[in-house]
């Protein structure tokens, strides 16, 4: 599935469209979507209130366009980064690193995206569902390649694995946001990959514990 900006050619090539959209993201990040106003967005963008309505129907439309344009650009970058690698392990590493890199590079975007998705905002319910599916399908594609390569277990429950990976990455981003972005988010990529691939248990340790328990009974 290929993601493309859902805006007209006129808007796509208009600097004011992007200026307003970026200003809106900043305002939403600082005040929250529901508390933000068109006047605040116009002031941040340095335009008159009426100018906003030349490009957007209302505040709700700005949020929808944010998901249809800005975040789709980010998700398209995920696919591009994954396709640069050959084996499944490097593809998963590239995906996670690019995810963290994009969100660290634009903290306002990260704040709005994480807040809106966690609130299950009805205005962008369809867009959130579509983007989640895109990401989850990409993870499944990587894992299935890893299984074919003999690098990943074939007894994995893919529905669980894909949500585990997405949930872990999103929680790392949320923790970083709550900290005020005080550390390098990208530095969490390798520990995450290590956790995904190797887990938290020492190979054979739990089997040994079970054998000890059986022998002691």
pLDDT of residue 217: 53
The encoded tokens of residue 63 equal 């949020």
- pLDDT (tens digit, 9 = 90+) per residue, 122-177? 888 888 888 889 999 999 999 999 999 999 999 999 999 999 999 999 999 999 99
The encoded tokens of residue 183 equal 């550390």
pLDDT of residue 212: 46
Report DSSP state, residue 13.
T
Architecture of domain 9-216: Orthogonal Bundle (1.10)
pLDDT of residue 206: 61
pLDDT of residue 1: 37
Given a cut of 90, is residue 214 above it in pLDDT? Answer: no
Place 46 in a pLDDT band, splitting at 50, 70 and 90.
very high
Given a cut of 50, is residue 82 above it in pLDDT? Answer: yes
Each domain of the chain, given as residue ranges in start order, spans 9-216
Average pLDDT over residues 29-35: 94
How large a percentage of the chain has pLDDT more than 90? Answer: 68
Which of 99, 95, 65, 87 is CA-nearest to residue 147? 87
Q: What is the mean pLDDT of the chain?
A: 87
Higher pLDDT, 120 or 127: 127
CB 101 within 8 A of CB 183: no
CB 55 within 8 A of CB 16: yes
Instruction: Write down the pTM of the prediction.
Output: 0.83
User: Taking the alpha carbons of 114, 158, 95, 72 in that order, is the dihedral positive or negative?
Assistant: negative
pLDDT of residue 56: 94
């Amino acid at each position: 599935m290929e993601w493309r900006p859902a805006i007209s050619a006129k808007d796509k090539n208009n600097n004011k469209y992007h200026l307003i959209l970026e200003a809106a993201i900043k305002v939403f990040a600082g005040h929250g979507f529901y508390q933000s106003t068109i006047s605040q967005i116009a002031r941040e963008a340095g335009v008159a209130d009426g100018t906003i309505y030349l490009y957007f129907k209302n505040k709700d439309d700005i949020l929808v366009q944010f998901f249809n344009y800005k975040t789709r650009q980010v998700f398209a970058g995920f696919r591009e980064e994954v396709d640069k690698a050959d084996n499944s392990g490097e593809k998963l590493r590239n995906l996670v690193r690019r995810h963290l890199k994009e969100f660290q590079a634009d903290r306002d975007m990260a704040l709005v995206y994480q807040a809106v998705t966690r609130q299950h905002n009805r205005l962008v319910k369809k867009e959130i569902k579509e983007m989640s599916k895109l990401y989850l399908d990409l993870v499944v594609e990587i894992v299935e390649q890893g299984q074919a390569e003999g690098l990943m277990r074939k007894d994995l429950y893919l529905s669980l694995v894909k949500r585990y990976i997405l949930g872990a990455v999103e929680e790392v981003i949320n923790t970083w946001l709550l900290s005020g972005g005080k550390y390098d988010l990208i530095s969490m990529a390798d520990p995450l990959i290590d956790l995904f691939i190797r887990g938290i248990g020492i190979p054979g340790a739990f089997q040994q514990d079970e054998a000890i328990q059986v022998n002691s009974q």
